[in-house]
Structure 1
Amino acid sequence: MALKLLMAVAAGVILSGCATRYTPAPLAANFPASKQAKLQATYHWGIVADAVERQLAVALKKTPTRPIFINTPAEPNPFQRALATQLTTALVNDGFTVSRAPAGALKIDLDVQTLTFAANRPQYRQNFGQRFPLADGVWMAKELSAPRLENEPFDPLDSEFAPGATPRTEIIVTISVSDQYRYLARSTSAYYVADADYALYGLTEPEPENTKLTRVFKVRGDL
């Protein structure tokens, strides 16, 4: 036993001595595990609007009372249009004056940045995937090796997690309140969105996953 321990310590010393101390670029490392909400219904858009309004309200109540004008894009996509409408409702219900014209009002700008990541992005899932009853009130959790399919029923143990693969599509939502001189309040948040709903967020259809490149070769000489 002592010999095995000594050999393990020696191996650790050797490996630590061989570790790279200098590299031409930083070593790639993972962030700590985190969660990001996936938007899958217009009800979820309302939750986003309410969360944004609560953040902005804290700052707006510290500024001199002025009407608020929501500056929507000239041709909003369905998500931007719904977000502006729901944010207007939330502000009015919270006692703010929302103006229909920009003159003399603070301006709220809505910026939605859409992103499409690679089709083969990493797929990390929750630890628990299925439960099996052992006795009354006693369950055994079994990890699934593959992601749960879209049509599989939710289990109370893992219903917190969205079904299916990690989406390729994400959005960054930034809401800014400003006058002609400065920003008075700002909120930024990021969300997954279902890949099939890309058009609702102003995205064009993502490229097919199995896109093949065609090359033309020129042959010289007699055949």
Structure 2
Amino acid sequence: MLRKVCLLGIGSTLLAGCFATNTSQAPIASTYPITEQQKMQAAHHWDVLAQHQAELLTQNDLLKSQPLYIKGADQVTPFSTAFDSLLTSQLVEKGAYVKTSAAQAAQISYKVQVVKHDDRGAIRPPKGALTALATGIAVATIPFNHWGEPALALLPAAGAADLFGGNLTSETDQEVVITTQVTMADQVVYSNSSIYYINPGDNGHYKPAPVKNVNVSNEW
């Protein structure tokens, strides 16, 4: 019996050696390291973006002393209308020379792309969220066990909500990619892209309104 077991073990080892280990018929799925992405959900956030772009533009060595002209968006949207004004204000505030015509000026333009994911996988909660939740539940049980008034059990949870509520937001299946570029003599001398989550109901801020077809008939 022992001899058969030894022979079986040797045979299995030799058979395994005929095949490469750690192989797969197709690439296996892996995850990216955790990163953060901001969520744009207020006109103030457009101003924050304009301020950020103005800082980068005025600090760029090629553009510091260059007159700038902001080219309006090819398609008018609520975002483009506001961003034109906000970027102009931020550039002027930082001392940039902003012209109202394109002659002899570096041209600033931007592109906006709305991305909708139709089949996105699960997104893990922020690091420590589950631990904090478990801790909060455990702390909330203390009043039931030691305090006379059950309503006091709400205090730890309310305190945690007040402290951390502003840090909480949710991912969505829609994002917006905003790319700001500067061209001089048909050469791109500056390009910067920012990506944000947006609420699904806000995608109309970044896309032109759909054209409504009107049926025309000569019948009365």
TM-score, normalised by the number of residues in structure 1: 0.66
**Structure-to-structure mapping, 1:47-196, within 5 angstroms:** 47-59=48-60, 61-63=61-63, 65-118=65-118, 121-126=121-126, 127=129, 128-129=132-133, 131=136, 132=139, 154-163=161-170, 166-196=171-201
Deviation at 1:110, TM superposition (A): 0.7
Structure 2 vs 1, CA of residues 45 and 63 (structure 1 numbering), >3 Å: closer, same or farther? closer
Task: Report the structure, 1 or 2, having the larger strand content.
Answer: 1
Distance 1:113 1:67 in 2: 27
Residue 25 of structure 1, CA deviation: 4.2
- The Cα of 1:34 is off from its aligned counterpart by 1.3
**Cα distance between partner residues in 2 of 1:91 and 1:187:** 16
Corresponding residue to 1:200 among 198, 205, 212:
205
Quote the Cα distance in structure 1 between the aligned partners of 2:64 and 2:53.
20
The answer on whether the counterparts of 2:77 and 2:208 sit within 8 Å (CA) in structure 1 is no
In 2: Cα distance, 1:27 partner to 1:172 partner: 29
Instruction: Give 1:195 deviation, angstroms.
Output: 1.0
- Identity score, percent: 24
How far, CA to CA, are the matches of 2:107 and 2:33 in structure 1? 37
> How far is the alpha carbon of 1:188 from its aligned partner?
1.0
Aligned letter for 2:204?
A: A
In the alignment of these two chains, the number of paired residues is 172
The 1-side partners of 2:197 and 2:86 are apart by 20
The superposition leaves residues 46-88 of structure 1 with CA deviations (integer Å, 9 ceiling, x where unpaired) of 11111121122211x4447231111112332111221221111
Query: Is the helix fraction higher in 1 or 2?
Result: 2
Alpha carbons of structure 1 residues 155 and 19: separation in structure 2 relative to 1, 3 Å: farther
State the distance in 1 between where 2:35 and 2:165 align: 15
In 1, are the aligned partners of 2:58 and 2:64 still within 8 Å (CA)? Answer: no
Q: How far is 1:124 from its partner? A: 2.8
TM-score of the pair, normalised by structure 2:
0.67
Task: Tell me if the contact between 1:174 and 1:189 (Cα under 8 Å) persists in the aligned partners.
Answer: yes
Note if contact 1:114-1:203 (Cα within 8 Å) is conserved in structure 2: no
Larger Rg: 1 or 2? Answer: 2
Structure 2: runs of 5 or more not aligned? 1-16, 144-154, 211-220
Task: Report the Cα offset of residue 21 of structure 1.
Answer: 3.2
Task: Find the residue that maps to 2:189 and give its secondary structure.
Answer: strand
Q: Distance in 1 between matches of 2:49 and 2:176?
A: 12
Deviations 1:76-107 (A, max 9, x none): 21112212211111101111111111111100
For 2:20 and 2:195, the matched residues in 1 are separated by 37
CA contact under 8 A between 1:56 and 1:186: conserved in structure 2?
A: no
Amino acid at match of 2:174: T
- Cα distance, 1:156 vs structure 2: 1.7
1:198 match: secondary structure: helix
Gaps of 5+ in 1: 1-16, 142-152, 206-223
